[in-house]
A and B are shown apart, each in its own frame.
Chain A
Amino acid sequence: MQLFAFLIDGLLIGFVYGIAAMGMTLIWGVMNVINLAHGPIIALGCFGVYLLATQLGLHPYLALLIVAPLGLVAGMLFYRLAIQRVIDAPRLSSLLATFAINMIVIGLGTAAFSTNPRALDVQLGSLSFGPVTILGTRLVAALASIATAAGLYWFLYHTRPGKYVRAVTNNRAAAELVGIPSQQVLALSFGLGCMLAAVSGALIATFFPFTILSGDVYQQKSFVIGVMGGLGHPLGALLGGLILGMMEGLLPAFLPTTWVPVFEFVLFVIILLVRPAGLFGGKK
């Protein structure tokens, strides 16, 4: 029964990891860009909710609904300013462009907020059965993650812009030949990836303290999940997030907790060697 408590905690946080990783893998899949600004955007999501809640008095979950479109717009802006010019250049150029965004956001964020920890006090109670206690905030975060993933799939499969995104992912040149405005679609895709990062950050802020540097940890996890689930495979990312969350939940039952990252990155290397397309298929 106690093992079940480890598992539930791991799975609940795994959904949030999944949403963070979906953002990264979407960008990776559509435009072959490894977004090194992913972590700072997650941190900006935390601060977005924090500022709206503490300065304007909005409920954090209402603030999340504002942070999501802001993340989309910020992502599209980042694309126009830094990525668009190097999208067809060698891959290292886009890597450096996103690294530059990372440094700029961290620098400005440190100047504006310092690196002092912030926290939101969100109380939603808890559900208890036996040794298992599920916190309301984590349950809501998991449900919000599922809803976000479902919304993304509906968008990709049932809307015209979503179909354009899939078309550009499959074959950008062919998509352009049939009149799909690829630059706009790429900007939209980068915006969507950033929106997912911001949403995951906003959810994290409802139960963990954070600083402007907090996104780095989730960025690293997103890499592992992205590789595990399959590059450019959003559903794979969500499932990868659940697997990582489950590992983080269950491994401490048998090992010192400090060993968990070792296992995570060993798994990362093994998947790269044995199954580079990821557990659920994707770009190699």
Chain B
Amino acid sequence: MNTRFAALFVWIFVISLLLPTCGTPAAVAPSQAKEVKAVIGFTASQTGKLNVESTRQTNGLNLWMKQVNEAGGVKLKDGSVVKFESKFYDDESNSARVQELYTRLVTEDNASFLISPYSSGLADAAAVIAEQYGKIMITTGAASDSTYKKGYTLVYQAYTPASKYLTGAIDLLKSTDPAVKKIAIVHENDKFSTDVSNALNDYAKAQGYEVALFEGYDTGTTDFAPFINKIQEVAPDAILGGGHFQDGSTFAKQLYEKKVALKFVALLVAPPEPTFAEIGEASLGIIGPSQWEPQVVFNADSAQKAGLSFYGPAAADFVSAYKASANGEEPSYHAAGGYIAGLILQKAIEEAGTLDTQAVKAVLDKMDVMTFFGHIRFEAGADSHGLQTGHSMVYIQWQNDDAGKLVKEVVWPAEGATSGIKYPIR
């Protein structure tokens, strides 16, 4: 009897040990699925000249993370569920800080994936670290082409590259007034603005424009009087260039105050920002390239027409969620760029079904998808691996609505325009 009891006890013990290992992952209730944390590491420019754009980018990224975690995370092949956790530091808008902080994110904070800081210069500095430590980094707020020509294999660009940033403005000018042939290019002397302006200069010349002035100004310039005097000396019909928010808005303001007679002004970065309108009448007519605008509609229909699948939220859902999370502030393209960086990563992890870097990289290399931000596809070749090849720019212009209030309108490309162009601007 005692022997049978002992044998029964042994059998029960053995079966109880084996039970948890039986069954498939699908059989496990979602609430019991193993939860895995994936740390998303990045730096934000909480201080310094890039603060405005960087804060919006971070807000967008945080919104993505909140939504994906609240929706239950991303399910992996092994049945576990990934929930994301952010780890970030203030880079002070300083590239020297970026490398130190990204190293820390990888080595001390064990970041699984990286998102770039805002701006091409800072993202370029971070890309070296991502590659060195074998971490995938989605760059956003960083349009410079040159980062992707350095042989990196794990860095992927969400934005339209700088070489295509202002070329559409030339197409817009040509379509609006083919008689105009003389332009001036005045740009910030940083990496991104210089890349954009060099590409613009080549494109404008190829299109038959005379570039009467091509000059850079130092980062942090506040007095544009010497440039404005030079502009008046060569009397161009159009000015293109700029750099970032602070210098772009100051430049536009001083052009207005100095009563420079111009037909067309297109500047980088600053005009699409909602706060650009704070310079008042000086903003009227100023055109800016934008990676994305809330009015632009990319949805399942447009994806189907393009022969692509649609992934993620619709633009209207993103806009309303962002407004709710940012005290009613309308999302700029920087905010959308932050969100899309997370969404790209989510799509890649979902398809790969694992957090393994090489598996996620393989999915990213083949990614070809439509999102609310537009078409996302990366160059997979070695020459410029990771360069964005799917996405394209839209151009906004500040105009007065019927009530005389300053509003942003999409004026190019024609098929996505919400209004005709105001031309000449003064």
Confirm or deny: B59 has a beta carbon within 8 angstroms of a beta carbon on chain A. Answer: no
Nearest residue (CB) in B for A216 is: B220
Q: How far, in angstroms, from A131 to B216 measured CA to CA in the complex?
A: 23
Instruction: Please tell me which stretch of B47-55, B138-146, B284-292, B340-348 contacts chain A, meaning at least 4 of its Cβ atoms lie within 8 angstroms of it.
Output: B47-55
Take A2-B232, A257-B217 as given contacts and tell me if A252 and B226 are in contact as well, using a CB distance cutoff of 8 Å: yes
- Encoded as 1 (CB less than 8 Å from any B CB) or 0, chain A from 42 to 55 comes to 00000000000000
Is the Cβ of B229 less than 8 Å from the Cβ of A115?
no
Is the Cβ of B223 less than 8 Å from the Cβ of A208?
yes
Confirm or deny: B233 has a beta carbon within 8 angstroms of a beta carbon on chain A. Answer: yes
Instruction: Please tell me which stretch of A5-13, A32-40, A58-66, A141-149 contacts chain B, meaning at least 4 of its Cβ atoms lie within 8 angstroms of it.
Output: A5-13
Is the Cβ of B226 less than 8 Å from the Cβ of A133?
no
Of A13, A115, A210, A256, which is within 8 A of B225 by CB?
Answer: A13
Q: How far, in angstroms, from A5 to B279 measured CA to CA in the complex?
A: 24
Is the Cβ of A126 less than 8 Å from the Cβ of B259?
yes
Those 6 A-B pairs whose CB atoms lie nearest each other, nearest first: A252-B226, A208-B222, A9-B225, A115-B47, A117-B246, A2-B233
Is the Cβ of A114 less than 8 Å from the Cβ of B47?
yes
Confirm or deny: B69 has a beta carbon within 8 angstroms of a beta carbon on chain A. Answer: no
Is the Cβ of A135 less than 8 Å from the Cβ of B215?
no
- Encoded as 1 (CB less than 8 Å from any B CB) or 0, chain A from 224 to 257 comes to 0000000000000000000000001100110011
Interface residues, chain A, with chain B CB atoms under 8 Å away? 2, 5-6, 9, 13, 110, 114-117, 119, 121, 126, 128, 131, 133, 135, 208-211, 214, 217, 248-249, 252-253, 256-258, 260
Is the Cβ of B232 less than 8 Å from the Cβ of A116?
no
Take A116-B47, A135-B257, A258-B216 as given contacts and tell me if A253 and B225 are in contact as well, using a CB distance cutoff of 8 Å: no
Is the Cβ of A116 less than 8 Å from the Cβ of B229?
no
Is the Cβ of B259 less than 8 Å from the Cβ of A256?
no
- Encoded as 1 (CB less than 8 Å from any A CB) or 0, chain B from 10 to 28 comes to 0000000000000000000
Number of residue pairs across A and B with beta carbons under 8 Å?
Answer: 74
Confirm or deny: B66 has a beta carbon within 8 angstroms of a beta carbon on chain A. Answer: no
Is the Cβ of A258 less than 8 Å from the Cβ of B189?
yes
Nearest residue (CB) in B for A204 is: B222
What A residues does B298 contact at CB under 8 A?
Answer: none
Is the Cβ of B47 less than 8 Å from the Cβ of A110?
yes
Confirm or deny: B92 has a beta carbon within 8 angstroms of a beta carbon on chain A. Answer: yes
Take A116-B47, A208-B223, A208-B250 as given contacts and tell me if A253 and B259 are in contact as well, using a CB distance cutoff of 8 Å: no
Is the Cβ of B47 less than 8 Å from the Cβ of A257?
no
Confirm or deny: B416 has a beta carbon within 8 angstroms of a beta carbon on chain A. Answer: no
Nearest residue (CB) in A for B258 is: A133
What A residues does B34 contact at CB under 8 A?
Answer: none
Q: How far, in angstroms, from A13 to B225 measured CA to CA in the complex?
A: 10
Is the Cβ of B229 less than 8 Å from the Cβ of A253?
yes
Is the Cβ of A258 less than 8 Å from the Cβ of B258?
no
Enumerate 19 A-B pairs (CB-CB under 8 Å) in ascending A order: A2-B232, A13-B223, A114-B46, A115-B47, A116-B52, A121-B279, A126-B257, A135-B258, A208-B222, A208-B250, A209-B246, A249-B225, A252-B226, A253-B226, A253-B229, A253-B230, A253-B233, A257-B217, A258-B189
Confirm or deny: B218 has a beta carbon within 8 angstroms of a beta carbon on chain A. Answer: yes
Give the residues from 229 to 275 in chain B that come closer than 8 angstroms, CB to CB, to chain A. Answer: 229-230, 232-233, 246, 250, 257-259
Q: How far, in angstroms, from A131 to B231 measured CA to CA in the complex?
A: 11
Q: How far, in angstroms, from A116 to B246 measured CA to CA in the complex?
A: 9
Q: How far, in angstroms, from A208 to B223 measured CA to CA in the complex?
A: 7
Q: How far, in angstroms, from A194 to B138 measured CA to CA in the complex?
A: 48
Take A116-B51, A126-B257, A257-B215 as given contacts and tell me if A5 and B229 are in contact as well, using a CB distance cutoff of 8 Å: yes
What A residues does B257 contact at CB under 8 A?
Answer: 126, 133, 135
Q: How far, in angstroms, from A249 to B227 measured CA to CA in the complex?
A: 10
Q: How far, in angstroms, from A23 to B320 measured CA to CA in the complex?
A: 53
Of B48, B223, B259, B279, which is within 8 A of A128 by CB?
Answer: B259
What B residues does A128 contact at CB under 8 A?
Answer: 259
Is the Cβ of A115 less than 8 Å from the Cβ of B51?
yes
Give B297 Cβ to nearest chain A Cβ, in Å.
33
Of A131, A135, A248, which is within 8 A of B226 by CB?
Answer: A248
Is the Cβ of A121 less than 8 Å from the Cβ of B47?
no
Q: How far, in angstroms, from A270 to B52 measured CA to CA in the complex?
A: 42
Q: How far, in angstroms, from A249 to B226 measured CA to CA in the complex?
A: 6
What A residues does B328 contact at CB under 8 A?
Answer: none
Confirm or deny: B307 has a beta carbon within 8 angstroms of a beta carbon on chain A. Answer: no
Q: How far, in angstroms, from A13 to B258 measured CA to CA in the complex?
A: 15
Q: How far, in angstroms, from A261 to B216 measured CA to CA in the complex?
A: 14
Q: How far, in angstroms, from A257 to B421 measured CA to CA in the complex?
A: 33
